[in-house]
């Protein structure tokens, strides 16, 4: 099966960050040629007036919570979690699957091709990933038995999940840990042990709020990063979400151990985590920083265009420096840096021959993106475009959406089912 994307502006995100006019030829799920392509293909998509991007990689998400969008707005994290946990306890496997499918549709519609999820029942999320055709990096969350709503031992559940899906290119399993506030040294060690033994990655929340950091300091005498270093949890295997309340020393510790950070600016702002993640320092010290939307309860969407824009603006506003986090850096966080963060830059994150064909085609024909010319293309992507400008989304050479129409799932049916499921959950 071959596919030809004809006549777009290719935002390659290659090492030179070249933007070139031309075509992309896809064969057997991989990019076979970039630039002027003479060949023909089984299917040709006209990309004139459009940019072709590597699909976005959302590196921190809880996609099943799409069903809980809007249930806890304008309240702080603790209150949000309380409301979320109360509903969570009522969720069935079927609800989780409907929520995940709904989220997958929203992501496909806005050009996201991969997401890094943290949840229990990831096997239901995996089902939604396969059905929709997306690529999921799915971390089964572990935490102490005293805090969990999971049936059975969370670490054993995680191990089972990883064992079942390991080796699948579309569902890449890994082990998660909720955070230091609900996970002991034993839980962290057991999670790391499973990840090392099975050769998969780790995913955790880290230093999201001030109370989290100071309670941990009181309890252990160490800040979370210092404590995780002491117990041997920090490594290149780990992607840590948030990293809002970090000292410069902690930033350097993360850099030294090769830990990547999923920056979640919208979620942090909405929950009033206070302070701002020290992203300029992370970049300066060599931490790989990517972007995450976090839960639909705290975002409330998963449009990476919106999160790129907020990431760029947040640091400019708080540093009084318009040059900090420029558009190119924000786009990098959503594409190539995200692939590096998840250890998959050999296959994803840029448009280069040999990589998997995970692509998004973005129209520049809207009033809100006019005038556009090659010189302002990158800043338009970050400051002017919206998820709804995405016309076509491709994963592994499979067209999931073409000209705004989903091919893999029945969108209207799933949206209807999600609305009905939510009504049953919240009106009961």
Contacts with Zn ion, residue ranges (CB under 5 A): 294
Cβ-based nearer residue to Zn ion, 294 or 303: 294
Q: How many whole angstroms from its chain centre is CA 301?
A: 12
Cβ-based nearer residue to Zn ion, 229 or 294: 294
Closest C-alpha to 244, from 202, 201, 213: 213
Q: Whole-number minimum distance, CB 264 to Zn ion, in Å? A: 7
Token output for 308: 């790129």
How far apart, in whole angstroms, are the C-alpha atoms of residue 202 and residue 349?
A: 20
Select the residue whose beta carbon is closest to Zn ion and give its number.
294
Cβ-based nearer residue to Zn ion, 13 or 268: 268
Q: Whole-number minimum distance, CB 275 to Zn ion, in Å? A: 17
Cβ-based nearer residue to Zn ion, 23 or 294: 294
Q: Whole-number minimum distance, CB 80 to Zn ion, in Å? A: 11
Q: Whole-number minimum distance, CB 295 to Zn ion, in Å? A: 6
Q: Whole-number minimum distance, CB 180 to Zn ion, in Å? A: 14
- Cis ω on the peptide bond leading into residue 371 (within 30° of 0)? yes
Cβ-based nearer residue to Zn ion, 128 or 206: 206
Q: Whole-number minimum distance, CB 64 to Zn ion, in Å? A: 12
How many residues does the structure list for the chain?
Answer: 428
- Cis ω on the peptide bond leading into residue 300 (within 30° of 0)? yes
Closest C-alpha to 163, from 211, 193, 198: 198
The answer to whether the beta carbons of residues 216 and 184 sit under 8 Å apart is: no
How far apart, in whole angstroms, are the C-alpha atoms of residue 192 and residue 175?
A: 8
Q: How many whole angstroms from its chain centre is CA 13?
A: 18
Cβ-based nearer residue to Zn ion, 297 or 334: 297
How far apart, in whole angstroms, are the C-alpha atoms of residue 331 and residue 380?
A: 11
One DSSP character per residue, 29-78 reads: TEEEEEES-----SEEEE-TTEEEEEPEEEEEE-GGGGGGTTSSTTS-HH
Cβ-based nearer residue to Zn ion, 69 or 380: 69
Which residues are within 8 A (CB) of 6 and not within 5 positions of it... i.e. 6 or more apart? Answer: 23, 37, 44, 45, 46, 47, 48
Cβ-based nearer residue to Zn ion, 148 or 408: 148
Q: Whole-number minimum distance, CB 118 to Zn ion, in Å? A: 6
Q: Whole-number minimum distance, CB 366 to Zn ion, in Å? A: 32
Q: How many helical (H) and strand (E) elements, i.e. helices and strands, does the chain have? A: 15, 17
Q: Around Cβ 249, how many Cβ atoms within 10 Å?
A: 11
Cβ-based nearer residue to Zn ion, 294 or 307: 294
Question: Which residues make beta-bridge pairs with 4?
Answer: 25, 44
Q: Whole-number minimum distance, CB 231 to Zn ion, in Å? A: 21
Which residues are within 8 A (CB) of 190 and not within 5 positions of it... i.e. 6 or more apart? Answer: 142, 155
């Amino acid at each position: 099966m071959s596919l030809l994307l004809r006549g777009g502006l290719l935002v390659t995100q290659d090492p030179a960050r070249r933007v070139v006019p031309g075509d992309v030829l896809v064969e057997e799920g991989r990019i076979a040629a970039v630039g002027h392509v003479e060949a023909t293909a089984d299917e040709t998509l006209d990309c004139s007036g459009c940019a072709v991007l590597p699909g976005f990689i959302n590196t921190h998400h809880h996609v099943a919570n799409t069903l809980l969008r809007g249930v806890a707005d304008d309240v702080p994290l603790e209150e949000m979690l309380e409301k979320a946990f109360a509903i969570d306890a009522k969720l069935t496997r079927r609800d989780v699957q409907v929520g995940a499918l709904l989220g997958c549709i929203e992501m496909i519609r806005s050009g996201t091709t991969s997401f890094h999820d943290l949840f229990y029942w990831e096997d239901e999320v995996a089902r939604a990933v396969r059905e929709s055709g997306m690529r999921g990096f799915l971390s089964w969350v572990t935490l102490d038995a005293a805090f969990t709503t999971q049936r059975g031992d969370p670490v054993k559940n995680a191990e089972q999940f990883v064992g079942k899906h390991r080796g699948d290119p579309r569902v890449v399993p890994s082990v998660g840990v909720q955070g230091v506030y609900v996970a002991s040294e034993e839980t962290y060690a057991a999670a790391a042990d499973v990840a090392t033994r099975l050769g998969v990655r780790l995913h955790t929340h880290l230093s999201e709020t001030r109370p989290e950091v100071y309670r941990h300091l009181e309890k252990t005498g160490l800040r979370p990063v210092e404590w995780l270093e002491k117990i041997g949890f920090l490594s290149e295997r780990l992607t840590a979400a948030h990293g809002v309340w970090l000292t410069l020393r902690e930033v350097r510790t993360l850099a030294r151990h090769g830990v990547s950070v999923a920056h979640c600016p919208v979620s942090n702002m909405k929950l009033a985590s206070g302070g701002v993640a020290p992203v300029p320092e992370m970049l300066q010290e060599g931490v790989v920083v990517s972007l995450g939307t976090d839960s639909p309860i705290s975002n409330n969407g998963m449009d990476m265009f919106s999160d790129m824009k907020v990431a760029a603006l947040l640091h400019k506003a708080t540093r009084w420096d318009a040059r900090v986090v420029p558009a190119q850096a924000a786009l990098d966080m959503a594409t190539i840096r995200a692939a590096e963060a998840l250890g998959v830059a050999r296959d994803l994150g840029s448009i280069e021959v040999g990589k998997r064909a995970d692509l998004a085609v973005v129209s520049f024909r809207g009033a809100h993106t006019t005038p556009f010319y090659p010189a302002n293309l990158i800043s338009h992507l970050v400051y002017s475009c919206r998820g709804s400008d995405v016309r076509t989304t491709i994963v592994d050479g499979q067209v999931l959406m073409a000209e705004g129409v989903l091919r893999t799932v029945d969108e209207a049916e799933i949206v209807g089912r999600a609305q009905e499921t939510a009504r049953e959950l919240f009106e009961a």
